[in-house]
Structures are given as C-alpha cells and as structure tokens.
Structure 1
Amino acid sequence: MLLRGLSRLVAARRSCWAAGRRPLGSGSQVICEQTLVAVKPDGVQRRLVGEIIQRFEKRGFQLVGLKLVQVPREVLSAHYHDLEEKTFYPALIDYMSSGPIVAMVWEGQDVVKVSRTMVGATSPTQALPGTIRGDLCVDISRNAVHASDSVEVAQKEIALWFHHSELVQWKCCAHSNIYNV
C-alpha cells in the first residue's frame, strides 16, 4: 500500500515536470493542474475582472498567468474550432474579437473541475446562484467568462493563449494553509 502511494506520488511529480511545470507540495499531495480562465469582452466592459479574480483567489487557486489582450481571429478560430459548424459561430468570433479579453492561468488541486463549477452553466438562466454566471449574467451570448472543460483542453488552450515564458512559477506563502502538503 505504501509502495503504491509512493509510486503514484513519483508519477504525479514526473507528470508535472514533463508538462514543464514545477510540482507544488512536498508531502503526499502533488498539485500542478492548470486551467485557462478568460474574462470575455462583456465581462471586461462591465468591469467584472476584479470580482472574477477575487473569487478564484478566495477559493485558494494560484494565479500563474495574466494578460489583457485583443485576441486575433486566428487564435479565436483555433480556440473555438469544435463549434465551426454551429450557426452561431460567426457571431461568436465577431463578439470575442470585439474588445479586450483578460486571459488567466490558474493553478491548484482539481482547478479545472472546480473552476467549471465556480463559473456555472453556459446559459446564465440555468446557472445556479453563487456561480459567476448565476450571479452576474443574464444572456447566454454574454456570459462573461470562459473556463477550460477538461485537463486536456486546458493544456491545449493554455498553449494557444500563452507562451510558456508568460507563466510564472512561484510559491504562495499561504500554500500550506490551503493544502495539506
């Protein structure tokens, strides 16, 4: 049992290093999962950036990348490639390129899954109170924020939106108060 746990710990650390990230934690828990969160043009225009960042910070996640960008259509096309056949695709690309976006990379344990829960359902009318969309949005086409929907997608999105030199690896002094490491 102990050997199996040690084996998983070593594998998790190798996985972090292979992904180019420093594993966090020195105990039995290794944390290196990252996700892309982007405040969309409506969220920037409505000045929701600070509140959205605050929610992720209060949750205990660590900000490792942040930038305000006017996203080129090519990047948006690559980001939304799976929606190309949808009727709303041209309007989505037009909207997402209509103003600045705040792109962020957050790191922490189960950050992808927890971020999706924090953001809420795609349609604000179905998003629960307490979620970002449930509290701050009313229309599906103006739902303020994007969050990666899986670890694999997060890795692809982060690589699309950020150069590895734009991500900062740092140790938060509150880390041991958030995680049992």
Structure 2
Amino acid sequence: LAAGCLGRLRPAPDAVQRRLVGDVIKRFERRGFKLVGMKLLQHYHQLRQKPFYPALLSYMTSGPLVAMVWEGYNVVRSTRAMVGDTDSAEAKPGTIRGDFGMHVSRNVVHASDSVEMAHKEIGFWFHSSELVAWECSDQDYTYGP
C-alpha cells in the first residue's frame, strides 16, 4: 500500500463506556497515522431486526461508538497488528486488545481486515464530505521525502 491509504477503526461501546477512546487515538497518532474522520455515534438500531444473539445485540446497542478513519502507509495492515487478536485472552501485550480487552465480546475495537473492506466500511459510516484532507506538518519526518 502507498502512503495515503485509509483504514477504518471503530472503538466499540465498551471502549467508550470505559473511557479508552483517547488511549486508542494516542496509539495511532504515535504510530504516525493521520486522523481524517471521526464521529461519535449511537448506532445499531437497524440491527434490532437481525437474528443476533440477545446478549450480543444488547452489547452492540449499549452505548455510543466512535468511528474513525486513519490515513498512512500500510495503515490497514498496521492497524490489524496494533489491534491484536480478536480474543483478548490470546492478544499479545502491547496490542490494544491485549492491554485493554476483557473478553472476546468486549475487545475494545473493531477494525477493517483489508483495504477493500476499509473502503466499504468507510462508505457506510462516512460521507466523502466528512473526511478531511489536511497536510500534516511531520509528514516528511514520518514518511521521508
């Protein structure tokens, strides 16, 4: 992937409830990624019609989530590494789920698993006019000339 690729990250209701959103953002900023879109949403109302397990549906509708779009070199692949294994018991220390996840169903964040899925999910959560193109003053230091 080239610099400028977009990745989607979504701190889940448990991250918002536990006030971990700032910790998640901090890790992505320190990695050198640029935040180009973010929303606080109360979502999943349309999922009430879907055949989910009641406990999963209850969790997914338990509070707001934060949808984010990050830009940077290999952002999707890097995000997957930073997020860690879906099962927080298997996630390595130093990953978001390894450090903050409490259970496979309370694993703090959800992230796109491919560039194609990132573009699809970004389109679901954001209108193109909601993504901000801006020049980061440290881009040359982060990615070189």
**TM-score, length of structure 2 as denominator length:** 0.92
Q: Does 1:146 align with 2:110?
A: yes
Moved over 6 A (4+): none
Query: Equivalent residues in 2 for 1:31-110 (5 A)?
Result: 31-74=3-46, 90-110=54-74
Distance 1:151 1:89 in 2: 29
Task: Give secondary structure in 2 for the equivalent of 1:98.
Answer: coil
Q: Percent identity?
A: 56
> Structure 2 counterpart of 1:98, which letter?
S
**TM-score, length of structure 1 as denominator length:** 0.74
Structure 1 regions of 5+ residues with no counterpart?
A: 1-11, 13-29, 78-83
Distance 1:152 1:89 in 2: 28
Distance 1:39 1:129 in 2: 18
Q: Note the aligned Cα RMSD (angstroms).
A: 1.8
Task: Decide whether aligned partners of structure 1 residues 162 and 89 sit closer, same or farther in structure 2, where only a CA change above 3 A counts.
Answer: farther
1:122-141 residue CA offsets vs partner (Å, 9 max, x unmatched): 00000000000001112001
> How many residues get paired?
144
- 1:73/1:93 contact within 8 Å kept: no
Task: Give secondary structure in 2 for the equivalent of 1:176.
Answer: helix
Distance 2:97 2:118 in 1: 20
Task: Give secondary structure in 2 for the equivalent of 1:171.
Answer: coil
Match of 2:93 in 1: 129
Task: Give secondary structure in 1 for the equivalent of 2:124.
Answer: helix
